[in-house]
Amino acid sequence: MVERVVVIFYDKEHVPIEKFVFKLAVNQSYGSKLEEADLEFALRAFLIKLTVAEPVTKSLPSGSLFHLVIFILSKGLL
């Protein structure tokens, strides 16, 4: 199960410029079965929040890149 999503923006020298961490809230009332629609809704909400985050609205330097990191909980930890 996806616990949180992190997006890190780097400049062309691979130095972090910005980091955003979002904890995803999904309906866990189904036990271990995660509904695909719930996960899609949570990820869509994350992307919308990222597009309106003030620091990112500035132009990134030429040659910038980003990493998308997804943290999950293993079934044994639930």
Spell out where the chain has E strands: 2-10, 16-23, 65-72
Residue-level pLDDT at 28: 58
Copy the structure tokens of residue 39. Answer: 């996960």
Render pLDDT for 19-73 as a digit per residue (tens, 0 to 9).
888 886 655 565 556 667 777 787 788 778 777 776 655 677 889 999 989 888 7
What CA–CA distance (Å, rounded) separates 41 from 61?
31
DSSP state for residue 60 in the 8-state scheme:
P
Is residue 11's pLDDT more than 80? yes
Residue-level pLDDT at 65: 93
In the chain, the number of structural domains is: 1
Between 32 and 5, where is the model more confident? 5
